[in-house]
Amino acid sequence: MSLTHPSPNFGERRGGQRPGLIVLHYTAMESCAAALERLCDPAAEVSAHYLIDRDGGLLHLVPEEARAWHAGEGEWAGRGDVNSRSIGIELVNGGREPFPEPQMARLERLLPGIMARWSISAKDVIAHADLAPARKADPGPRFDWRRLAMQGLSVWPEDRHPAQPCDFSANAARFGYPRAPEDAVLAAFRLRFRPWARGPLDAVDAGLAADLAQRFPVDGTAMGA
C-alpha cells in the first residue's frame, strides 16, 4: 500500500528481521489530527505503520518493510526489539470508549492483507499491553478481541475447567507473555480476555491461560488435548 501521510519516524529493521507480529494500540488522544501530528513529529520519536480514525479513515504512515517506533520496551514470545519484528496499528480511541463499527470494519479489512503479505498467524496479532504488561494498557478494555478471533484475525481461549490446578504464569509465558510480575501479566491478560474480571487470580484465569498455552504455544508444539 502506498503511503498516504508519511512519517519521518522510522528506520531499518535490525538484523534483517521481517514482520512476524501485528501490535494493536489506542492513541489515547482526543482526535485523529492530534494523533497524526504526534506520530509525524520528529521530536516525539514515535510512529506506527497505520492509523485508523473513528470513522474508518485509514492513514498509512510508515512502509511495512520499515521499522516504525510504536512498541517501545517489551518482549513477546521471549524476544525483544518488537519494533523490528512487528507492524504497528494505532486506533483513535481515548482508552475507555467503545471502538466504533466503521473503525473496527476498517481494521478487519486491513489485517488480512498484512497477515498474508508477511505470513503472520492469528496468534501473532497482539495488544501493546501484551508485550509490555507493566507499563501499557492499550488497546484497553473496550476493544473486541473475540470479534477478531471469530474471523480468524486473532485468537480466543476456551474455558475448559481443567481438573488439576494450572500454573497461570507458566502458561501465560508459554503463550507468549513476558516474564513479568504475575499481577502485571494478569492485568494485561484480563484486559484482553476478561476485562470485566476483578480481584485476585482465579481458576478461570488459570484455565484460560492453560488453554492458550496448549493450543498456541510459543514453540509451536501444541500439547495433546
Distance CA 41, CA 125 (A): 27
Backbone angles phi and psi of 86, in degrees to 5? -145, 165
Among 90, 97, 101, 158, the one annotated catalytic = 90
Domain 10-150 CATH superfamily: Peptidoglycan recognition protein-like (3.40.80.10)
Taking only the tens place, the pLDDT of each residue in 118-156 is 999 999 999 999 999 999 999 999 999 999 999 999 999
Confidence (pLDDT) at 225 = 39
Place of cell 514482520: 19
Q: Is 218 left (phi over 0), alpha (psi -120 to 50) or beta?
A: alpha
Average pLDDT estimate for 170-191: 96
Helix (H) or strand (E) holding 89: strand 86-91
Give the tens place of pLDDT for each residue, 55-79.
999 999 999 999 999 999 999 999 9
The alpha carbon of residue 172 and the mean position of all alpha carbons in its chain are separated, in whole angstroms, by: 15
Q: Tell me, yes or no, if 73 is annotated catalytic.
A: no
Q: Where are the domains of the chain?
A: 10-150, 168-215
Instruction: Tell me the whole-structure pTM to 2 decimals.
Output: 0.95
Q: State residue 160's pLDDT score.
A: 74
pLDDT at 223 over 70: no
Residues 181 and 146: beta-carbon distance below 8 Å: no
